[in-house]
Amino acid sequence: QVQLVESGGGLVQAGGSLRLSCAASGRTFSGYLMGWFRQAPGKEREFVAAVSRSGGSTYYADSVKGRFTVSRDNAKNTVYLQMNSLKPEDTAVYSCAVDRAMRSSASYRTRDYDYWGQGTQVTVSS
């Protein structure tokens, strides 16, 4: 069992920045690929970014590429999402998730992730 707790969300003006954190319980954090997803009101949950077990490989949705950066600190059991140049369309609940499968690259599908945090709200005003 893995527990995930997100933090760092809030209200920010367009063009601003936020840094989300996701703290994980358990001693095997470094063995999991970690993903970030978001869900806006009335929309399906969508993939945002993911980071490999070592942190050496990162993956991004086209909509956030060049603006968001995902990283992890395995010593702290924490994964981060740095969000810059935020837009109103980035408004959503952001959740981190664990993929326990030993994939060679990240999955973009929610069903491939096993554990989820409760999410943190990000609101970008225009």
- Quick: pLDDT tens for 46-105: 999 999 999 999 999 999 999 999 999 999 999 999 999 999 999 999 999 999 998 889
Structure tokens at 21: 């954190």
Which pLDDT value is given to residue 29?
A: 87
Q: How many alpha carbons lie under 13 Å from residue 96 in its C-beta half-sphere?
A: 30
Q: Which phi and psi angles does 12 have, rounded to 5°? A: -145, 150
Q: How far apart are CA 32 and CA 11, in angstroms?
A: 30
- Helices (runs of H) and strands (runs of E) counted in the chain: 0, 11
In this prediction, residue 28 has a pLDDT band, given cuts at 50, 70 and 90, of: confident
Residue recorded with tokens 């949950």: 45
Enumerate the H helices of 5-119 as residue ranges.
none
Q: Are 5 and 116 in contact (CB under 8 A)?
A: no
Amino acid code (one letter) for 1:
Q
